[in-house]
Structure 1
Amino acid sequence: MNYFERANELKDELSKNRQYIHENAEVGMELPNTCQYVMSKLKEMGYEPKVIGGSGVTATVGNGQGKTILLRADMDALPMKEESGEPFACKNGKAVHACGHDLHAAMLLGAAKMLKENEASIQGTVKLAFQPGEEIFQGSKALIEEGILESPKVDAALAYHVGPGKMPVGLHMYNDQNTMMYSNDGFKITVHGKGAHGAYPHLSVDPIHIAVQIYLGLEEIIAREVNSSSPCVMTIGKLTAGEANNIIPETAEIQGSIRTTSVENREIMVSRMKEVACKIAEVYRGTAEVEMISEVPPLICNPEFTKEILSYMSELDVPGQMGVPGIQASASDDFSVILEKVPGAYMFLSAGYPDKDVAPSHNPKVIFNEDVLPIGSAYLAHCATRWLENNK
């Protein structure tokens, strides 16, 4: 089967699936409508899908012999109101597919249909994974805990992520040498002090003062304790405390994230963040407790597998096909949790408009070019089929 020719024949169906998922966007780990829609489409194709990891969906196709490759698509949205102006904009007013996960799910549905049509020629097993909760960095972990990498055991994994912008469709971006995306360790520090009247601060243990000192102390970790040759980012995005201007509260809360390309720097920064918070609180007669909100490693692709996938992609006659190597993004994706356990690859596909200025991802006004849908579907199906042929 020529997967790209077939994917172009399915373009209207791919678009319909994408727009339904987009119009009915859901967030987090609970995606009941999206899950039901994907399940129903897979059943129409002849699959026997199963729910996994809350609202995730998995199914397999192939002859059940030899090796297994996992194809993953995330399908959760972001919690904001859409302002794209698209006729299929989310109708609930509470979520928007501003990161393209609706396209990912539609592309994998398209690949699933083509793989089922070509099942007799698949020399192994393709496992499909439709994942919830990527935006909150919980989905991959949940799928793994419920056995996505077992029965049958997964030998390799592949995922694509679309990107908006002033780029032509046909462009693909990858990194087969270094870290492609940063780690993400989200944290919440709760500072406990002693409340008092604002007129008598000496009777308090002021958690706001402690929180400010912790903030300043955390800034010094990157400045003085990690290797400056490896990129690191620590951001404090939330600091809250108190209810009134004349009351010293009992507690204060700091939330932030640590991102780095280095496993070693990640370990140093997370460990020192916890130590600095607790020790500074102790110095000022308070206490601090640290809760990790997310724990996502750097996303590192397997070099040999990535090169092999690139060779299969080049076999398809995709208009404007061009690869851009060495891409590194300071954003994060929890597909990295899967790539810690099995060799695999992750790439960006342009879903942009070279002649338009459009909003970036995670913006309520962002729009994506649906011309990428048959390209992504074809890459998924073709690369999985060819990898199984050559890795029996």
Structure 2
Amino acid sequence: MNEYEHALELKEETIANRRFLHENAETGLHLPETKAFVMKKLKEYGIEPVECGEGVTATIGNGGKVILLRADMDALPMKEESGEPFSSKTGAAHACGHDFHAAMLLSAAKILKEEEAELKGTVKLMFQPAEETFQGSKNMLEHGILEEPKVDAALAYHVSPGRFPVGLYMYNDKNTMMYSVDGFKITIQGKGSHGAYPQVGVDPINIGVHIHLALQELIARECNPSHSCVLTIGQFEAGTAANIIPDTAVLQGTIRTNEKEARELLVKRMKEVVEKTAEVYRGSATIEMISEVPPLICDSELTKEVVGYMKELEIPNLIPHPDVSSSASEDFAVIAEKVPSSFLYLSAGYLDERGDYPAHHPKVQFNEEVCPIGAGCLAHCARRWLEEH
């Protein structure tokens, strides 16, 4: 019996674990109930988990080379409107599928534990928090997730909703798969005054407007047109009344690129433009970097190997879709920057109206038929990589 066949036997258990995590969704870096559930399940499977920063890790195997299998566990701070009978009770929502990732890795761990005597190396598990805030991978990295034992390669899957058939899998073994993200918070200091006497104050709203416009010119006039670059201001907060010029204004946004050099240029120039524009209009500005995640660039050789291992399982309707690139961002890139890594999307879509909503939408639904595919592929690819390395 191969790992996919074993995962089919565990399908109902995987779905039950997914639904528990979905119903009890938690956000951010601290996921007490989620973490406790994952650790309890690992212990039931005969695996000894330990905390790693705010996440959970464990090992299965017999020394030798080490492959890391990663799953994120956090949800989004939004109300769910999917209509599922197991909808979240917490006010948070697993609208990005991280509940699937954790449940599939739990089942993969159970399969690998049963195969432990035959493994030709070690599988290291990484259950991480705070992917949505781009904190989780860094938190676990700082607490040694890639050490003791030292990790040689890493693999992660991400489920994808939409009008796609289950079985489609997407990867990129040539170029950037997902963009960098540099989140920033700009605090503009002006001088408050009565709205009727702007000359005695320094208007931070006016400064913010000019900063917003100036930043867009970086994309239009300073970025190489062959690079993909996005600079978005998604939040602008200032003032309490129509006739008062406030002391401060705050802008928050993100920079996303598919090239390291474009990222370096935009972050550097963003800071310069913000500070100098504030000075022109007699104010000042400070910049806080909220997130700093590189582009996700998968290791070409490892990704080709993973795709080859997946084909060995002969899963019905498993359809490869290469050369996928997304302007979304993923903090697995922090791991991929340190060790050879592969990251693949697995379709968890529907071909009917249930596939009409994208990830991060309150009405999004994911197809649970993906569960044995993800669990089986994680376990099989880990075993096969260890055999060949």
Shorter-chain TM range is over 0.9
Superposed counterparts of 1:261-300, under 5 Å: 261-300=258-297
Name the structure 1 match of 2:256.
259
Look up the SS of the partner of 2:111 in the other structure: helix
1:183: which partner in 2? 180
Instruction: Output the aligned Cα RMSD.
Output: 0.7
Secondary structure class of the residue paired with 2:176: coil
One of 344, 349, 354 as aligned partner of 1:352 = 349
Paired with 2:359 and 2:35, the residues of 1 have a C-alpha distance of 23
Does 2:320 match 1:314? no
Name the CA distance, whole Å, in 1 between partners of 2:202 and 2:53: 43
1:232-283 Cα offsets, whole Å, 9 max, x none, are: 0000101111111111111000101000000000000000000000011111
Runs of 4+ aligned structure 1 residues displaced above 3 Å come to: none
Question: Which aligned pairs between 1:44-63 and structure 2 lie closer than 5 A?
Answer: 44-54=44-54, 56-63=55-62
> 1:375: Cα distance to partner?
0.4
TM-score normalized by the length of structure 1: 0.98
Structure 1: tracts of 5 or more residues without a match: none
Aligned residue identity for 2:18: R
Deviations 1:362-391 (A, max 9, x none): 001011111100000011000000001100
Any residues of structure 2 matched to 1:1-392 within 5 Å, and which? 1-54=1-54, 56-64=55-63, 66-92=64-90, 94-356=91-353, 357-391=355-389
Alpha-carbon distance between aligned partners in 1 of 2:89 and 2:226, rounded to the nearest angstrom:
46
Name whichever of 349-358 and 252-261 sits farther off: 349-358
Q: Structure 2: which amino acid aligns with 1:123? A: K
1:354 Cα shift?
2.1
In structure 1, C-alpha distance between the alignment counterparts of 2:69 and 2:383, rounded to whole Å: 11
Q: Secondary structure at the match of 2:382?
A: helix
| CA distance in structure 2 between the partners assigned to 1:279 and 1:161 by the alignment | 41
Deviation digits for residues 199-230 of structure 1 (CA, Å, limit 9, x no counterpart): 11100011111111111110110111110111
Residues 25-62 of structure 1: per-residue CA shift (max 9 Å, x gap): 000001100000000000111111011222x1100000
Shift of 1:358: 2.8
Distance of 2:367 and 2:204 partners within structure 1: 49
Distance 1:184 1:139 in 2: 14
2:224 maps to amino acid: N
How does the TM-score come out when normalised to structure 2? 0.99
Distance 2:12 2:108 in 1: 14
- Kindly state the Cα deviation for residue 355 of structure 1 after the two structures are TM-superposed: 3.3
Identity of paired residues, percent? 65
What's the offset of the Cα at 1:316?
A: 0.3
Q: State the SS of the aligned residue for 1:85.
A: coil
Which amino acid in the other structure matches residue 150 of structure 2? K
Q: Deviations 1:171-205 (Å, cap 9, x if unpaired)?
A: 10000000000111010000001111111110001
Q: State the distance in 2 between where 1:168 and 1:220 align.
A: 40
What is the DSSP-based 3-state SS (H/G/I as helix, E as strand, rest coil) of the residue aligned with 1:215?
Answer: helix
